[in-house]
Structures are given as structure tokens and as C-alpha cells.
Amino acid sequence: MIIGLDVGGTHTYAVLLSNQGVEKSVKVTTNHADLFSTVLSGFTQLLESIDPSQIERAVISTTLTTNAIIQQTMEPVGMIVSAGPGIDPEFFRTGEHYYAVSGSINHRGREKASVNEMQIQDIAKKMVDAGIEYVGVVSKFCVRNPSHEILIKRMLNKYFKKIFLGHHVSGNLNFPRRIATTHLNAAVFSLHKSFFEAVKKSLTEKGLTVPIQILKADGGTMSLEASMHFPGQTVLSGPAASIMGAIPYAPEGQDAIVLDIGGTTTDIAFLVDKAPLLEPVGIQRGSYKSLIRSLRTDSKGIGGDSTLRVKDGNLTIGPDRQGPAMAFGGPLPTPTDAMVVLNVMDTGDREKATAGIETIARQLGLSIEEAAEKIFKTCCTIILKKTFEMIDQINSQPVYTVHDFLEGYKLSPQKILVLGGPAPFFAQKIEDLYQIDTLAVPNSPVANAVGAALARTTCEVSLYADTEQGIVTAHEEDFAEPISKTFSEDDLMETAYTLLKEKAINSGADPENLEEVEVVEFQKFNIIRNFSPRGKIFRTKMQLKPGLIKGYETVLH
């Protein structure tokens, strides 16, 4: 049996799954000030009268790092960045202890200026004096040659508890995002570590000894041990959990939209043949841009508890939440009240809901019934409009080859999957309004926890081979090997697959779930100098696709 636990904004759900389906589920109110006791209470209630030795797997998704970013409770850490030619690295400052240093690597990975050891020693002393314990080191083009980062780490090791290096963060180029991501990993490390060590200790005391898996932003899992190196990857795993929870109900061979309608926001995501769409570079939410692999989601500030108002004769919905719906004791009318009025929802205090909607109806010059209908319809329209904008945006993404230009895949969803408390009510309305097959995901409230429970391990490797320089590298994996001039595309793919499997196993993957391998990117270039060939450049990215573990496909139907 397996356990999934998802810490949500309002409630935390935990489920116990067997290959018969959901055996048990529990709901705990999320206490953001004490996530540890929230998680533990979820586990405790779930494991009551269950023999812990029957549990084969446990996956946790939490808001821990997300909260740390939002509440700015991240620890002050030191950052050393070496930029070389280009944009002034001062623009990417992460905080007080941020030092731009000399040294430069070019786009081919060749050293153009060396590290100044005196400068590094000086900075190390300053950071030690300031009480810094964790440091991030990032150099431009370290993805092509990490030697400067490694050298600087060696010089700093004796002064600090842990050093985070940029080239371990991602195989993708993007210096500013790499700085932000390395900083994030360093800044949430001790919080993450103490949290999960405490969780693990408590679970062990309860007799639960299986390895703990943590959900990542890309909808995949990683082992607790692996998460210690990249705690930042757990950011925004909440939306990922719900999207994974929708997968069992997604159509095969088709595109689908996932809408997770919550109290204050609706998360929007897409599935292509049951596989979620990923962000092209990394998580981007507002001004925060990183290299953390993540599902492509966006949210709209509208949900069941959004505050309704009338401004200049026009109805507005949200983006704020002033409490629950009036039907549930809240102060102001919300879309949920409209649903209660319309009898599509049969819980809550109908009288209070009607009173709330009446104030809106009066201002709009409509009957209560008409106003409620209008509110409900407007909600659906706003959410769907945002969804179609996202589809347009995805379909107008730039391409860099003639082939991609001519063959570019166009996302065209034929099904909508709705999750969240009011999902069943919304599903019917959306289907009526847009004539798109719309389904409320069964067990909607616990779908997130189910998604976490069933998510398989994901990972990606990026390889770069340069036969002129005679080397194939995957610096993210600390891999570099000499190659000959005859190194081929097949050699590259074989190396990539070996590295990918190794990485997956090290991240806690079940060997039975290593088949969903996908080449995400492949490019090959001749290097020509003075009109004659000097070698070849090969680039590839290979991934284990996000998806669900085997053996549980049918249990949810």
C-alpha cells in the first residue's frame, strides 16, 4: 500500500491506496505556522489501525519552501558569482552577501580569465565574519565548464557548512535564473533539512521505515536524500500534486485541460496524452524566475470564496478572499453562495447565501436567481478565457528550426478535468457553456493526495559533446569523459540513457518505472573554421517523463 500526503493552503489531505483503490483518507486543517505537526497529524490519523509494515511507499508534498519564499523567512546566505563579459551581475543581486568576482568562461566552455584566489579568500573572510553558514557559487557558462565553481568551492569548504554550485542546478543555460535557483537551494536548505529529518524520525518511531519520497514541482518524486541537495525543487509542488491527480481521468492520445478550482485561486494546466506539459525553462511565478523544472501551470485569482462586488454597475469577482462564503459564515457574498442559491450545491446555510446574493442582485438590477446565474457564468468565463489565452501563448512559442516551424505541435484540448471542492458544479456549467467534454475528477478533494501518492520519479539529463575539444559532458551530473573525433549520435544517446537511469535510481526510482524515457531535445552542428570541418557539437536532453507509477492505473475508476 502507498501513502500520499499533500499539504494544501487550507487543508492537508492524506490517502492510503491499495491496488483496490482509496482505502482511507483523512483531512487535517493546515497550520502554516506549524507544518510539522500538520504533516505528522495527517500520518498519525491515516496510520491508525494500519500495520506500518504494509506500506511500500510514502510521498509528501508540502508548501514549506513556497511559504519560506512568500514569507521571506529564507536564511541569509552568501553568493559568489563570476560573470565575465555581458550584463552587469549586480542586476542579479540576491541579498547583502553577494559578491561578483573576476574569472570568465566562454560559451564553448573555454577559460578566458582565471579565478583570483586572493579575492575569494577576502570574500570568504567577510562572510565568515558576518556569520554566514551556507554559500552558493555560480559562474557564467558553468554548464559548459564548471572548473571555476569547483575551484572556488574547494577554497571555501573549510569555512562553511555546505556550498551549493550552479552547475548542479540544471543543464540549461540561463545565468540569472541559475543564480536565483542556487540561492534558493542554499537559503531553504537548513529549514528543509530540519523539517524532513524531524518527519522521518517521527515516522520511524511509528514503525514506518520505507524511504520517504518528496514531490517536486515537475510532478515527479525524489528521495528524501536527493532532496537535501535540491530543496528548492519542492517549491510549488501543490499544483503539481493536483495535476498528477487528474491524470488517471485524462484521455489517451488527446490533449486535456486541468482546472483546480480552490477557494481563492484556480490553477490551470495541460495534459498531452496523459503527460503534463512542462515549463520550457523552469518555474516562473510573477517576477520569480528559476531553473527548477516544473509543470506548466498558471493561476487566476478566482475561486469559490472570491469576494463579489459591484463597481459602476459591473460585477467583479475577487481577486481577494475575505473569508468563507456567507453560506458558511463568511462576511461577504461569493461564487459559492451563488451555487447554494442555484441549488447546485446543497450544503451551507441557504438563507444567508440568498441574503448575500440579494445585495449583488439589487445593485445589478436583477432578480436573485438571475444574479446567481450571472455570477456563476462569469466565473466560468473568466477561468476559461485565461485558459484559452494560455493555449494561444503555448502555441505561439518561438521555434528555432525550419522543421519545428513547419511541424510545430499545436495544443488543442478536447477535454476538461476539474478538481477542487466545487468541481462537480463547475464541470456541468462549463460543459453547457463551452460544449467541451468536461469531467469533475472523482474523489476531487483528495485528488491532490492521490496525485502525490502515484507520482513516479522524474529526472532529466543534459549532454553536450564537442568533438573538436574531444569531450562529452553532463556537468549537472558531475560527468565528463574524453571522446574521439568519431563520436556519433548513437554514442551520445547511449551515454545519455546510462546517465539518466543512474540518476533516476539515485533519486529513488523504482527500476520498474524507468521506461517512459523521452528525448526532449537533440541538435547536431558541424564546427567549421576557415571553410574546413573541425568537428561536431551534439546536444541532447533526455528525461523520464512525469506520470504515474505502474500497477495502479485501474484502481481509481
Partner 1 sequence: MLKALHKTGLVFFPAFDWAIDPTHPEREERLLYTQDQVTEEGIFDIPGIIEYKPMLATAEDIRRAQFCVPDEAAITTESHLISAGGAKVIADAVMNKEVKNGFALIRPPGHHSMRVSHGGRGFCHINIEAIMVEYIRSRYGVKRIAIVDTDCHHGDGTDNIFWHDPDVLFISLHQDGRTMFPGTGFPGELGGPNAKGSNLNIPLPPGTSTEGYLYVINHCVLPVLNEFKPDLVINSAGQDNHYTDPLTNMNFCAQGYAELTTLLKPDIAVLEGGYAIEGALPYVNLGIILAMAGIDYTGVVEPDYNPEKLKQSVSITDKIKKTTAQINKYWSQRFQMREDAGKPGEIQIRHKEIFYDTDNIFERQKERVRICKDCGGCFEIDSQATPGFHILGVHIPINACPACIEKGYEFFDKSVENKYHHVFLMDRPKGNYHIK
Nearer to partner 1, 284 or 513 (CB): 284
Asked whether position 407 contacts partner 1 by CB under 8 A, the answer is no
Contact 81/101 with Cβ under 8 angstroms?
yes
Q: Which residue type sits at 458? A: T
Contact 342/325 with Cβ under 8 angstroms?
no
Q: List phi, psi (to 5°) of 13.
A: -115, 145
Q: How many residues bind partner 1 (CB under 8 A)?
A: 44
Query: Using a CB cutoff of 8 Å and minimum separation of 24, what contacts does 223-228 make?
Result: 223/507, 223/508, 224/196, 224/200, 225/508, 226/506, 226/507, 226/508, 227/192, 227/196, 228/189, 228/192, 228/193, 228/196
Asked whether position 118 contacts partner 1 by CB under 8 A, the answer is no
Task: State in angstroms the smallest separation of the CB of 470 from partner 1.
Answer: 17
Asked whether position 488 contacts partner 1 by CB under 8 A, the answer is no
Task: State in angstroms the smallest separation of the CB of 72 from partner 1.
Answer: 16
Which residues, numbered 458-487, are part of the site for partner 1 (CB under 8 A)? none
Asked whether position 189 contacts partner 1 by CB under 8 A, the answer is no
> Considering only 186-194, 304-312, 402-410, 487-495, which stretch makes contact with partner 1 by CB under 8 A?
402-410
Task: State in angstroms the smallest separation of the CB of 471 from partner 1.
Answer: 16
Asked whether position 405 contacts partner 1 by CB under 8 A, the answer is yes
Contact 481/491 with Cβ under 8 angstroms?
no
Give the E-state strand segments of 312-379 in sequence order.
Answer: 314-321
In Å, what is the CA distance from 150 to each residue of 115, 475, 476?
11, 11, 12
Asked whether position 99 contacts partner 1 by CB under 8 A, the answer is no
Q: Which residue type sits at 232? A: G
Nearer to partner 1, 191 or 411 (CB): 411
Q: Which residue type sits at 33? A: A
Rounded to a whole number, what is the largest CA-CA distance in the chain?
83
Task: State in angstroms the smallest separation of the CB of 408 from partner 1.
Answer: 9
Task: State in angstroms the smallest separation of the CB of 322 from partner 1.
Answer: 31
Task: State in angstroms the smallest separation of the CB of 335 from partner 1.
Answer: 32
Strand-strand pairing, 98-101 and 212-215: unpaired
Cβ atoms < 10 Å from Cβ of 513: 17
From 53, 54, 96, 107, residue interacting with partner 1 (rule: CB under 8 A): 107
- CA–CA separation, 131 and 387 (whole Å): 47
- CA–CA separation, 249 and 362 (whole Å): 41
From 174, 202, 506, 513, residue interacting with partner 1 (rule: CB under 8 A): 174
Task: State in angstroms the smallest separation of the CB of 236 from partner 1.
Answer: 18
Nearer to partner 1, 177 or 192 (CB): 177
Asked whether position 396 contacts partner 1 by CB under 8 A, the answer is yes
Site track for partner 1 across 227-266, x = CB under 8 A: ----------------------------------------
Contact 484/465 with Cβ under 8 angstroms?
no
Asked whether position 398 contacts partner 1 by CB under 8 A, the answer is yes
From 153, 289, 309, 374, residue interacting with partner 1 (rule: CB under 8 A): 289
Closest C-alpha to 221, from 26, 556, 504: 504
DSSP of 273-330, one letter per residue?
TTEEPBPSSS-EETTEE-----B-EEEES--TTEEEEEETTEEEEEEEE-SS-GGGT-
Strand-strand pairing, 284-285 and 275-276: unpaired
Alpha carbon 295 to its chain's center: 5
Task: State in angstroms the smallest separation of the CB of 393 from partner 1.
Answer: 11
Task: State in angstroms the smallest separation of the CB of 410 from partner 1.
Answer: 12
> Considering only 8-16, 64-72, 87-95, 379-387, which stretch makes contact with partner 1 by CB under 8 A?
87-95
Task: State in angstroms the smallest separation of the CB of 281 from partner 1.
Answer: 8
Nearer to partner 1, 96 or 197 (CB): 96
Nearer to partner 1, 72 or 287 (CB): 287
From 148, 177, 183, 541, residue interacting with partner 1 (rule: CB under 8 A): 177
Burial of 356: CB neighbours in 10 Å, binned 0-12, 13-18, 19+: buried
Nearer to partner 1, 143 or 430 (CB): 143
- CA–CA separation, 457 and 505 (whole Å): 9
Closest C-alpha to 335, from 242, 429, 224, 228: 429
Grid cell for residue 554: 485501474
Site track for partner 1 across 46-85, x = CB under 8 A: -------------------------------------xxx
Grid cell for residue 368: 436573485
Task: State in angstroms the smallest separation of the CB of 474 from partner 1.
Answer: 17
Which residues, numbered 498-557, are part of the site for partner 1 (CB under 8 A)? 523, 525-528, 530-533, 537
| Range list of H helices, 435-466 | 447-454
> Considering only 62-70, 170-178, 352-360, 497-505, which stretch makes contact with partner 1 by CB under 8 A?
170-178
Which residues, numbered 348-367, are part of the site for partner 1 (CB under 8 A)? none
> Considering only 88-96, 159-167, 305-313, 337-345, which stretch makes contact with partner 1 by CB under 8 A?
88-96
Grid cell for residue 65: 519552501
Asked whether position 95 contacts partner 1 by CB under 8 A, the answer is no
Task: State in angstroms the smallest separation of the CB of 285 from partner 1.
Answer: 13
Provide the β-strand partners of residue 2: 17, 57
Cα angle value 460/464/470 (rounded, 5°): 145
From 201, 343, 402, 515, residue interacting with partner 1 (rule: CB under 8 A): 402
Within 8 A by CB and 6+ apart from 516, the residues are 456, 544, 545, 547
Task: State in angstroms the smallest separation of the CB of 483 from partner 1.
Answer: 19
3 state DSSP class of 196? helix
Contact 377/302 with Cβ under 8 angstroms?
no
Q: Which residues bind partner 1 (CB under 8 A)?
A: 83-88, 91-92, 104, 106-108, 112-113, 140-141, 143, 173-177, 287, 289, 396-403, 405-406, 523, 525-528, 530-533, 537
